[in-house]
Amino acid sequence: MFRKILIANRGEIALRVICACKELGIPTVAVFSEADRNALHVRFADEAVCIGPPRATDSYLNIPQVISAAEITNVDAIHPGYGFLAENANFAEVCEASHISFIGPSAEVIRMMGEKDRARREAAAAGLPVIPGTPGIVEDEHAALRAAKEISYPLMIKASAGGGGRGMRIVRSAAEILPAFQAARNEAEQAFGVPDVYFEKYVERPRHIEFQVLGDRHGRVMHLGERECSVQRRHQKLVEEAPSPAVDESVRESLGARVAGALEKIGYSGAGTVEFLRDAQGEFYFIEMNTRIQVEHPVTESVTGVDLIKAQIRVAAGEKLEEVVPGYTLRGHAIECRINAEDPETFAPSPGHITALNFPGGHGVRVDTAMYSDAVVPPYYDSLIAKLIVRAGDRAECVARMRRALEMFVIEGVKTTIPLHRRIVDDPQFQRGELHTGFLDHLLAPAEHA
Ligand code: MV4
């Protein structure tokens, strides 16, 4: 097992990782920017090192600064959390070159999954269903016209370096294809420095369903069931749940086994998430893989009983999967609401000073946060300030529990998305579990009158 772990992150996930380390008996080192001097992750870690000015590029994204902090404090592993350096293959490489274990998959696999057209090809080769589309990048206008004719409309143009919804375009007719192709290439070049794009058939109003996986460093990979993440706005998830209301045991077992088998072929290790779209006919298609722990991991923990952060650390230290997770049974239902410091109507960030705070509690309620009364939410980072996770015997009881927990949650001093979450869980369609990726836009659209 590791002697000491540095957590290259901030906020609730840094605190979450420190909690897991404490329970494993591993000393921790926090890093922090000048804006996070009084943050809870700094106070709760055994040691803390300032790594630079408030802006993330100067601190949490500054690889030499993070590595220096790791060397000064003599850690033997780094946990990257999510965001920041978590899916940076160069960072994983620098860690290993510095004889520090990166708690995550190999740099090669991170790089593979970061190139989305390549990830799609590798997933297909390993036996996962993919959306009909181009075998690789579309090089020029001639190839674009040919590919569009083959795939037919509507189709989607995606940036190879994109992911998470950035650099995508829907094309509904032949008249739009060439302008859209050029625009998408320009946008991709601007955003990622790489103009490469590929095409897929467009799937209308799909569900977003993702499988949690865990692999050891001995070639074994298992799945821990799926999460439903269809409640999103502009590719930001707001509510996630496990299991998905659209997945029954036979689909879970067959697709889960295919996912685990595919990742064993690829040589995956660590925690990861395989994202699928599920179309209206119930077909599943691989779209992307995330090679990190995700924000919504607690819903999977709640229904499997597996502590995913501890498991991540143990497999990174070389323990075998059969020892880390001897087995699990899915029990009940869990829902997570992401609470952001944002205006619930305009979604404008609302940084500031927390003047009053009351967390909900009671049976089946978990709050993952680094907030405290008198804390400051800085303007420099993403606006997630708390995750409210509830579990119950079934989905209906879980929704009722979420409604009462949201009622108990008080945050004053900054605007939050709590009022929006109340609207979501009060919605009859949400309560019926009839979700798709357009659900939230529909809920937010101004009411139409006949
Ligand atoms: C798609 C799609 C429809 N057809 N691909 C958005 C994020 C990125 N991970 C992939 N995304 C999509 N890819 C094809 N071929 C629709 C989306 C999509 C979406 C996916 C998941 C959750 C929310 C979404 C919202 C809009 C579009």
Over the stretch 380-403, which tens digit does the pLDDT of each residue have? Answer: 999 999 999 999 999 999 999 999
pLDDT at site 69:
99
Q: Candidates 205, 208, 296: which one to mutate for ligand 1, based on the most atoms within 8 Å of Cβ?
A: 208
- Give residue-wise pLDDT tens across range 128-163: 999 999 999 999 999 999 999 999 999 999 999 987
For the chain, which ranges sit under pLDDT 70?
A: 448-450
Helices then strands (H, E): number in the chain? Answer: 16, 20
CA of 437 to the centre of ligand 1 (A): 8
Three-state SS at 165 = coil
Respond yes or no: is residue 292 known to be catalytic.
Answer: yes
Mutate to test the pocket of ligand 1, among 234, 437, 444 (most ligand atoms within 8 A of CB): 437
Q: Which residues contact 253 (CB under 8 A, 6 or more apart)?
A: none
Give pLDDT, residue 448: 58
Contacts of 234 (CB under 8 A, 6+ apart): 165
Ligand 1: residue whose CA is nearest its atom 21: 208
CB distance 390 to 401 below 8 Å: yes
- What 3-state class would DSSP assign to 240? strand
What the block records as the tokens of 114 is: 């970061």
Q: Tell me how crowded residue 375 is: count the other CB atoms within 10 A of its CB.
A: 20
Q: Which atom of ligand 1 is nearest to the CA of 131?
A: 15
Return the residue whose CA atom lies nearest to atom 14 of ligand 1: 202
Here the tokens at position 66 are 């993070």
Q: Which residues contact 237 (CB under 8 A, 6 or more apart)?
A: 229, 231, 295, 296, 338
**Contact 366/302 with Cβ under 8 angstroms?**
yes
Residue nearest to atom 7 of ligand 1 (CA): 165
Q: Quick check: pTM over 0.75?
A: yes
> How many A from CA of 401 to the centre of ligand 1?
30
Task: Give the orientation angle of helix 395-408 with respect to helix 418-426, to 10 degrees.
Answer: 150
| CB of residue 288 inside a 6 A radius of ligand 1 | yes
